Structure 1
Amino acid sequence: MNVALWIAQGLLAAVFLMTGMMKLVKGKDGLKTDPKMLWVNDVPESRVRVAGVTATLGAIGLILPWALDIVPVLTPLAAIGLVAQMALAMQLHMKRNETQTVVMNAMFAALALFVAFGRLSDLG
Structure 2
Amino acid sequence: MTLNAWLWIVAGLLAAVLLISTSKMVVPREKIAAMGGTAAQWVLDFSPRALRTIGTLEILAAAGLILPRLLDIAPIMVPVTAVCVALLFTGAATMRWRRGERATIAPDLVYLTLALFVAWGRFGPAA
For the criterion TM > 0.5, the same-fold answer is yes
1:62-104 C-alpha deviation (Å, 9 max, x unpaired): 1111111111111111111111111111111112221232111
- CA distance in structure 2 between the aligned counterparts of 1:119 and 1:100, rounded to whole angstroms: 31
RMSD, matched Cα: 1.4
- The answer to whether structure 1 residue 9 and structure 2 residue 21 are counterparts is no
- CA distance in structure 2 between the aligned counterparts of 1:115 and 1:96, rounded to whole angstroms: 29
**TM, length-normalised to structure 1:** 0.90
Q: Which residue of 1 aligns with 2:113?
A: 110
Cα deviation for residue 27 of structure 1 reads: 4.3
- The answer to whether structure 1 residue 59 and structure 2 residue 68 are counterparts is no
Unaligned runs of 5+ in 2: none
Taking the TM superposition and a 5 Å limit, the aligned residue runs for 1:1-124 are 1-20=3-22, 22-34=23-35, 35=37, 36-121=39-124, 122-123=126-127
Q: Secondary structure at the match of 2:57?
A: helix
Identity among equivalent positions (%) equals 35
Task: Tell which deviates more after alignment, 33-42 or 111-120.
Answer: 33-42
- CA distance in structure 2 between the aligned counterparts of 1:54 and 1:30, rounded to whole angstroms: 22
Cα deviation for residue 111 of structure 1 reads: 0.3
CA contact 1:31–1:37 (8 Å) conserved in 2? yes
- CA distance in structure 1 between the aligned counterparts of 2:88 and 2:11, rounded to whole angstroms: 16
Cα deviation for residue 56 of structure 1 reads: 1.3
- CA distance in structure 1 between the aligned counterparts of 2:31 and 2:74, rounded to whole angstroms: 36
